[in-house]
Amino acid sequence: MAKQERYYNILKLNKLFAISSIVFLILLIWTFEEDYSRDWKEYQREFRLLEEELTSNLLEQEKSRITGLSDYKVAQQEMAAAEKSLDNKRADLQILQKQLKSLNNEHYKVEQQLAFDKAQYDAAKYEYEEAVGKKHGDVKSTKKRFDHLDIEVKQLTLKLEDVVRRLNQQKKTIQDFLQEVNDAEKSIGEFTRKIDLYSKKLTKIDPGSMTVGNRMADFIRDLPVLDFLNPYYKIDQIVIKDITEDLIFTKVPKVDRCTTCHLGIAKPEYEDASQPFRTHPNPDLYITNKSYHPMESFGCTSCHGGRGRGTGFITSAHTPKSEEQELEWVEKYQWHEMHHWETPMFPKQYLESGCFKCHSEEIFLSHAEKLNLGTNLIEKAGCFGCHTIERYKDKRLVGPDLNKIPSKISRDWTYLWIRDPKSFRHNTWMPKFFGLENNSDPESQARTEQEIHAIIHYLYKNGKDFPLYPIPRLGNPERGEELINSLGCLGCHRIEPEPFEETTSLQTLRRDHGPNLIGLASKTTSQWIYNWLKQPERYFPRTKMPNLRLTDEEAADITSYLMTMSNGEFLEHKIPPLDEGVIDNIVKNFLLKMFSDFDSREKLKSMTLENKLDYAGEKLIRLYGCFGCHNIPGFENEKPIGTELTEEGSKPVEKLDFGLLDIKHSREVWFTQKLKHPRSFDRDKVKGDYEKLRMPDFEFSDVEVEAIVTALQGFVKTSYGIKPVKSQNPDVHMGQWLVREYNCQGCHIIENDGGAIRPTIQDWLIDQYAFTESDAEGMIIPFSPPDLNTQGDRTQPNWLFDFLKNPTSIRPNLRVRMPTFNFTDSDWSYIIKYFLFLDGEVATYESKHSVDMKSFQYLAGKELSELGACDNCHFYGTTFPKQTPDTWAPNLAMTKVRLKPEWVIQWLKNPQDIMNGTKMPAPYIPTKEDLAVPEIRESFGRGILNLDGDQDAMLRGITDFMYTIPGKTDISKEIKDYFDKNGYDFLQQEEDEWGEWE
Amino acid sequence: METFKHLVNILAHPTIMLTVGMLVFLFFFPPNDWFEKWNRRLRLNFLWTKKGFYFVMFLMVVFFLFGLTDPNFSLIIKKPDNVPIIGLIFFVFIFLWISMNQALKNDNLIEAGEKPEEYNDPEDKVLVWPDLVYIEFIALILCMSLLLIWSIGLEAPLEGPANPAESPNPSKAPWYFLGLQEMLVYFDPWLAGVVFPSLIILGLMAIPYLDTNPEGAGYYSYKQRRLAIPIYLFGWMILWVALIVIGTFLRGPNWNFFGPFEFWDLHKLVPLTNINLSEIIYIKWFNRGLPENILVREIFGFLIVFGYFLLLPPLLAKTAFKKLHQNLGNFKFGFFIFLLLCMLSLPIKMYLRWLFNLKYLIAIPEFFFNI
């Protein structure tokens, strides 16, 4: 054969082929390896070891626990004895078991035969019927076959019954043989239940505890490729159908795979484990099936944000809480942002933002302290005045009414105040507009100085008249101070002349509800204060300040006290004179926005200084958006000047202007920067005078900024369509809002929160009546405005409505006064519905509590009230209590109109349960045992004896009795007359006269 | 180092890059004797020797490695989408080098009166079985290996869910269409998106009918194809590959130009005010308003365009392309020169834009007709 024609060296090609094949093989293996080795598997392996360790520890503990139990030893001995006695009967048992086996065989055989025959029988039946009915086939032969099978089946059925009977009997006999052993086993099982559980678990996770076969299976099930069948290490996911992920063109159910690595999240044993295995810090609120947010229906990313489908640290969009953590993560996990995921996980400090995805309509959200603080601060600072926020649509403006300003304050004061509000009142909420980083250069300063003149000119020129009534008499400042401290003013106001350190909380904000009452003598006139105190709504129709129904004398006293405080330094600041040149520039600047340069100059020429100030004032008020917080004449229907914030938390980061600042590009960083340094995004930018950023500086603290950012981040588009219970009822919602807006919690405790006034009561008792600190502490509750928890259960809605509209005296010796609020009837009914809602009730018609005055129950009640000497402290209509005013308690004749009988019974059982710290003692109710003692028995009357120690009946009796006490229900006048005559000197501490209470 | 980066950023600006590129191109691929003289004098053919190959490859590798140290450039070149373009840069050079290297070798042989290397068969002969199939099989395995490495090494560049309300900025066409997208900057969509792409395909199809030069068939040669190669490479290298590279590496947010080492600032502003020819003539030069009549208004544009396409061909047929015209005849030459002028209209329009801020030569927005 001729030599083959070749042009290539086949050996060389072979080598090349070999090398590339090997490379390819290696790459193929690498591909499998890449696909197989996942980060989450590492975590699962680690967790398995942890679980193994924990379970075997628990197993050991349990073992040593029960070996120490004497009952367990007894059970073990019983077991040994039972087995021993069984040993003697072992031979018999074996025979019985052999018989059972053959019986089983027989049973099987007969049953099988019957099944076959029955099938034949059914077929024969069908053929026979067909032959008769439809003439298909031979009637005779089919009938013969059918009859034959019929008999066969019947016989077999009987035979089967017999076999079954014998079989059961045999089983029972064997059971009897084993009875003793089984019982012993059962009683041991009681002890070893947990051990069995742990051991069973260990055989699943610990290769050491597995059988050889299982150990091999355990190894094989997780091998590459084979692991598609039933691997141990697998992705764990929760699919939530109700909550969908918006992919623009479609919505897909949320899928959270977080539990693939966060394996201990729902297991209480892993509280101290390291991440990602640690137990959720609040499983009773978020994880378990009994919680409000079970993991199975809410998943994780619904609240936390992040990418639920991600199974890696980075792909699940974890977000670091700080720069340090970011660096740590970068080093540890090569962390980087998931660039295209719009909802990354909330950093830890802003976690509560997530609540707003569903709870956005709620006014107060328990367990979300930071979020609540954030929304409170937004309301307090009045952000919604300039930035539309759907949640706060149509809410009242946060600043005072400026319609009648000329009657209240001087131009000079106003000038200095606008320029730097904090120089007058160190903790005011009025923000600073001037002297900030983008308008404090000399040129801007010269301009803004004149701007303030123009603004003031507008305000005073358009200010309306406000007739001031004269103060009828000279006030007494000392009495005024006492009144301020005792009437409840300090629930909303402070009097703090010097700046102080304080961490902002809901409680501190309550006391910031009204202004800090300092330096008023430098601000306004005594006449104005007097008029304001007497009737705040006359000056400011939508004021939050309620009417305290002050007498002329009281108002004059308070006025004279407030006028003792002045801020002399403030008014000494120099006010730059009006400079028409600068004003011209300002006016021209605004004119140029609408007119050509020529027209502007012409217009300017034709204006007098007055005209210019008018024009500039109006434009400037519109520019700075003063009307966002204040009622200003001429700006009643103005649109807010700021960006809408309703969905600010969903705003893409690219739409936020970071200016030239070198900071991290993320929403939270931008918000923080904006709140801390509102004008900083103008830094190094070239901008015209009126193109600059205008947001004023509120000088928020870090705590406040973080809280506001939390709330802002929560204002998102996402709506899961799940509405929490409270938001569903608009009336309740309104009620809750009013309670918040009018600061009811400044005095009262509602929803277990509030009562900001309480510490001041203590201070007052110490200062005014020489209480010791501990004594005063004990008197805080008796002398504070009432705790309104259980208010819905407590009072009759009709009475409450009347009371709120026109408050009357309830606790006679209380000095704190419930003010009259300028509310409509429907406002009050919202509030009442809210109270009822809190206690799970609804406003319905309730029939009058009827009392059978002939019953023993009633009689017993009457007797008990006499025994308990209720009239020592309580008024019975206009009948005064026997004891001195310091122990006085509400008028019992009012009970029938005021309280709900069911609540009275609960109250009488144990007052401390309902109102911790109340002075009311639980009445003595004799028990059956008490009644058995003859000496004690003698002291009781017919009613009590007849009830024979029935505690509930006796409590009902007291209640019944209370509902029949006659007399006047409103005794406010009598009480007032008494104290007008005798004063409150009873409070004066001399000796330890409270001893009898303890 | 910063000065170097700054310099590169400046040089990368397309006005400079393309101008320099087009000038240098003519020296590397001389279409006539004058350029060839300079080509020899500057020893530019060094590039097509082995040393030249290593030199250029070295330069490119060093440039990209250096680029990796720059935070901005590394972001661009490490983006998984852009990896093919880096491959493209290298491969375009490699294949160009192979053919030019061979062409020059052959040219030397031809000059010495010998036959080109390709005639030396059967040294270059391949048997389908077993050699070709075997080699192809090995190539297949190596390609698969490359794809595996690629897919393991670079994660798929997934983006957020498609959202019609939000377009990405910059929104770029697939890499192979970036040349077209670049053309859209200078031409109306109907031209850049419809007419030119059709002409490109038509032109490529027409090559065998227009290029009737029998020399160089079956072997590489530059000298014998001194017109065909520069024209083709100009269209391919400058007007297609270079535009893809610009589109990939140098076009950032808002379709602004960014140097390779420049940060892609979303807020960068560049003046982009353009003006139509009619406005230049009537308003700037004649100091009068635009005429009402559309035809009168756009008459100068029409004249230029018609002049370009109707007067230039006969002129060129008499002068520069005299020989070619004789060889091809009127019809073929007409078609050839039309395609050539269309191709050249792109750089011409670019320069008009850069130099005079010219928007359109003919602007009739009333009929959506702009050139």
Write out pLDDT tens, residues A272-325.
Answer: 999 899 999 998 889 888 888 999 988 999 899 999 999 999 999 999 999 999
- Report how far apart, in Å, the C-alpha atoms of B201 and of each of A830, B34, B185 are: 76, 32, 21
The verdict on B132 touching A (C-beta cutoff 8 Å) is no
Q: A372 or A842: whose pLDDT is higher?
A: A372
CATH code, domain carrying A461: 1.10.760.10
Nearest CB partner across the interface for A17, out of B122, B138, B165: B138
Q: Are A24 and A32 in contact (CB under 8 A)?
A: no
- The verdict on a CB contact (< 8 Å) between B122 and A8 is no
Q: Provide the greatest CA pair distance for chain B.
A: 79
- The verdict on a CB contact (< 8 Å) between B135 and A13 is yes
Spell out the residues 6+ positions from residue A527 whose beta carbon is closer than 8 angstroms to its own: A468, A469, A470, A471
Query: Which residues of chain A does B142 touch, with a Cβ-Cβ cutoff of 8 Å?
Result: 20, 23-24
Kindly tell me the burial class for residue A311, based on how many C-beta atoms sit within 10 Å of its own C-beta (0-12, 13-18, 19 or more).
buried
- Token pair belonging to A657: 């202007």
- Token pair belonging to B19: 């101008």
- The verdict on a CB contact (< 8 Å) between B145 and A30 is no
For position A451, what pLDDT does the model report? 94
- By C-alpha distance, the chain B residue nearest A23 is B145
A vs B, Cβ pairs < 8 A, gives: 65
For residues A882-889, average pLDDT: 84
The verdict on B130 touching A (C-beta cutoff 8 Å) is yes
The verdict on B218 touching A (C-beta cutoff 8 Å) is no
CA distance B326 to A242: 79
pLDDT digits (tens, 9 = 90+) for A524-573: 999 999 999 999 999 998 899 999 999 999 999 999 999 999 888 888 88
The dihedral built from the CA positions of residue B301, B306, B308 and B311, taken in this order, carries a sign that is negative
- A598 within some domain: no
Cα–Cα–Cα angle for A586, A588, A591, rounded to 5 degrees: 115
For residues B304-327, average pLDDT: 90
**Entry field: residues in chain A:** 998
Q: Are A309 and A302 in contact (CB under 8 A)?
A: no
Domain that holds residue A649: 369-388+644-714
pLDDT digits (tens, 9 = 90+) for B47-56: 999 999 999 9
Residue A143's closest CA among A155, A130, A154, A156?
A130
CATH code, domain carrying A123: 1.10.287
Query: Which residues of chain B does A13 touch, with a Cβ-Cβ cutoff of 8 Å?
Result: 131, 134-135, 138
CA distance A429 to A544: 15
- By C-alpha distance, the chain B residue nearest A29 is B148
Does A748 share its domain with A698?
no
Q: Are A107 and A164 in contact (CB under 8 A)?
A: yes
Q: Which amino acid is at A648?
A: E
CA distance A847 to A837: 20
- A226 within some domain: no
DSSP, collapsed to helix, strand or coil, labels residue B358 as strand
Cα–Cα–Cα angle for A354, A359, A364, rounded to 5 degrees: 105
DSSP, collapsed to helix, strand or coil, labels residue A992 as coil
For position B161, what pLDDT does the model report? 79
- The verdict on a CB contact (< 8 Å) between B162 and A30 is no
- The verdict on a CB contact (< 8 Å) between B127 and A7 is yes
- Report how far apart, in Å, the C-alpha atoms of A132 and of each of A119, A140, A988, B245 are: 20, 9, 115, 92
For position A996, what pLDDT does the model report? 43
Minimal CA separation from B167 to chain A, in Å: 12
DSSP, collapsed to helix, strand or coil, labels residue A780 as coil
Does A97 share its domain with A195?
yes
Residue among A6, A15, A23 with most chain B CBs within 10 A, to mutate: A23
- Token pair belonging to A481: 């101070």
Q: Ramachandran region of residue A488, left (φ > 0), alpha (ψ -120 to 50) or beta?
A: left
For residues A53-70, average pLDDT: 89
Does A503 share its domain with A552?
yes
Does A833 share its domain with A950?
no
CATH code, domain carrying A960: 1.10.760
Angle between helical axes of A609-624 and A442-462 (0-180°, round to 10)? 100
- The verdict on a CB contact (< 8 Å) between B145 and A248 is no
pLDDT digits (tens, 9 = 90+) for A345-358: 999 999 999 988 88
- The verdict on a CB contact (< 8 Å) between A6 and B134 is no
- The verdict on a CB contact (< 8 Å) between B166 and A652 is yes
Place of tokens 């008029």: A531
- The verdict on a CB contact (< 8 Å) between B159 and A6 is no
- The verdict on a CB contact (< 8 Å) between A17 and B137 is yes
pLDDT band at A31 (very low <50, low <70, confident <90, very high): very high
- Report how far apart, in Å, the C-alpha atoms of A664 and of each of A100, A195, A660, A677 are: 81, 54, 12, 15
DSSP state of A399: S
- The verdict on a CB contact (< 8 Å) between B162 and A654 is no
For position A361, what pLDDT does the model report? 80
For position B124, what pLDDT does the model report? 65
- Token pair belonging to A669: 């960083």
Nearest CB partner across the interface for A27, out of B148, B163, B164: B148
- Token pair belonging to B358: 């010219």
- By C-alpha distance, the chain A residue nearest B158 is A340
For position A810, what pLDDT does the model report? 86
DSSP, collapsed to helix, strand or coil, labels residue B243 as helix
Angle between helical axes of A39-67 and A139-205 (0-180°, round to 10)? 90
pTM exceeding 0.90: no
Looking at the DSSP assignment, which residues form a beta bridge with residue A196? Answer: none
Q: Is the ipTM of this complex over 0.90?
A: no
- Report how far apart, in Å, the C-alpha atoms of A813 and of each of A478, A561, A875, A919, A983 are: 21, 24, 11, 13, 11
Domain total in chain A:
6
The verdict on B111 touching A (C-beta cutoff 8 Å) is no
For position A576, what pLDDT does the model report? 92
For position A409, what pLDDT does the model report? 93
- φ, ψ of residue A727 to 5 degrees: the values are -70, -15
CA distance B241 to B261: 21
Does A550 share its domain with A412?
yes
- A723 within some domain: no
pLDDT band at A886 (very low <50, low <70, confident <90, very high): confident
Q: Are B371 and B301 in contact (CB under 8 A)?
A: yes
What radius of gyration do chain B's Cα atoms show? 24
Query: Which residues of chain A does B162 touch, with a Cβ-Cβ cutoff of 8 Å?
Result: 248-249
For residues A162-191, average pLDDT: 89
The verdict on B121 touching A (C-beta cutoff 8 Å) is no
CA distance B313 to B235: 19
CA distance A373 to A740: 12
Does A241 share its domain with A204?
no
Query: Which residues of chain B does A34 touch, with a Cβ-Cβ cutoff of 8 Å?
Result: 152
- The verdict on a CB contact (< 8 Å) between A20 and B127 is no
- The verdict on a CB contact (< 8 Å) between B160 and A341 is yes
DSSP state of A874: B
Q: Which residues on chain A place their C-beta less than 8 Å from a C-beta of chain B?
A: 5-8, 10, 13, 16-17, 20-21, 23-24, 27-28, 30-31, 34, 247-249, 340-342, 652, 654, 657
Spell out the residues 6+ positions from residue A20 whose beta carbon is closer than 8 angstroms to its own: B138, B141, B142, B145
Nearest CB partner across the interface for B266, out of A31, A34, A654: A654
Domain end, chosen from A154, A185, A219, is at: A219
Looking at the DSSP assignment, which residues form a beta bridge with residue B364? Answer: B369
- The verdict on a CB contact (< 8 Å) between B131 and A20 is no
Angle between helical axes of B14-28 and B322-356 (0-180°, round to 10)? 160
- Residue A935: pLDDT over 90: no
- φ, ψ of residue A930 to 5 degrees: the values are -55, -45
Angle between helical axes of B83-111 and B50-69 (0-180°, round to 10)? 160
Torsion of CA A154, A157, A161, A167, to 10 degrees: 140
Nearest CB partner across the interface for A7, out of B131, B138, B152: B131
Nearest CB partner across the interface for B163, out of A8, A31, A248: A248
Q: Are B199 and B342 in contact (CB under 8 A)?
A: yes
Does A498 share its domain with A534?
yes
Of the spans A1-5, A499-503, B158-162, which averages the highest pLDDT? Answer: A499-503
Residue A410's closest CA among A465, A456, A458?
A456
Q: Are A780 and A943 in contact (CB under 8 A)?
A: no
Q: Are A948 and A931 in contact (CB under 8 A)?
A: yes
Q: Are A421 and A403 in contact (CB under 8 A)?
A: no
Q: Are A436 and A387 in contact (CB under 8 A)?
A: no
The verdict on B152 touching A (C-beta cutoff 8 Å) is yes
Domain end, chosen from A811, A838, A865, is at: A838
pLDDT digits (tens, 9 = 90+) for A396-435: 899 999 999 999 999 999 999 999 999 999 999 999 999 9
For position A997, what pLDDT does the model report? 43
For position A994, what pLDDT does the model report? 46
- Residue A773: pLDDT over 90: no
Does A897 share its domain with A985?
yes
CA distance A446 to B13: 45
- A780 within some domain: yes
For position B160, what pLDDT does the model report? 79
- Report how far apart, in Å, the C-alpha atoms of A121 and of each of A154, A822, A907, A968, B156 are: 11, 92, 78, 94, 68
Residue among A4, A11, A13 with most chain B CBs within 10 A, to mutate: A13
pLDDT band at A998 (very low <50, low <70, confident <90, very high): very low
- A168 within some domain: yes
pLDDT digits (tens, 9 = 90+) for B65-84: 999 999 899 988 888 888 88
- Residue B348: pLDDT over 90: yes
For residues B317-339, average pLDDT: 90
Q: Are A931 and A913 in contact (CB under 8 A)?
A: no
Across chain A, mean pLDDT equals 89
Nearest CB partner across the interface for B160, out of A28, A34, A342: A342
Output the DSSP codes for A658-681.
-TT-----SHHHHHHHHHHSTTGG
Q: Are A435 and A420 in contact (CB under 8 A)?
A: yes
**Entry field: residues in chain B:** 371
Does A948 share its domain with A986?
yes
Query: Which residues of chain A does B161 touch, with a Cβ-Cβ cutoff of 8 Å?
Result: 247-249
Nearest CB partner across the interface for B122, out of A7, A249, A342: A7
Least confident range of A145-154, A162-171, A916-925: A916-925
- The verdict on a CB contact (< 8 Å) between B159 and A340 is yes
Q: Are A24 and B141 in contact (CB under 8 A)?
A: yes
Residue among B133, B148, B265 with most chain A CBs within 10 A, to mutate: B148
pLDDT digits (tens, 9 = 90+) for A465-482: 899 999 988 889 999 998
- Residue A987: pLDDT over 80: no
- Token pair belonging to A334: 């090569």
- A617 within some domain: no
According to DSSP, the β-strands at B363-364 and B369-370 are: antiparallel
The verdict on B61 touching A (C-beta cutoff 8 Å) is no
Q: Which amino acid is at A871?
A: D
DSSP state of A270: G
Spell out the residues 6+ positions from residue A599 whose beta carbon is closer than 8 angstroms to its own: A591
- A720 within some domain: no
Does A200 share its domain with A250?
no
pLDDT band at A995 (very low <50, low <70, confident <90, very high): very low
Does A827 share its domain with A929?
no
- By C-alpha distance, the chain B residue nearest A15 is B138
Domain end, chosen from A313, A345, A377, is at: A345
- By C-alpha distance, the chain A residue nearest B132 is A8
- By C-alpha distance, the chain B residue nearest A32 is B152
- The verdict on a CB contact (< 8 Å) between B145 and A5 is no
Cβ atoms within 10 Å of A480's Cβ, excluding its own: 21
Does A275 share its domain with A239?
yes
- A6 within some domain: no
pLDDT digits (tens, 9 = 90+) for A698-747: 999 999 999 999 999 999 886 666 666 656 688 888 898 999 999 999 99
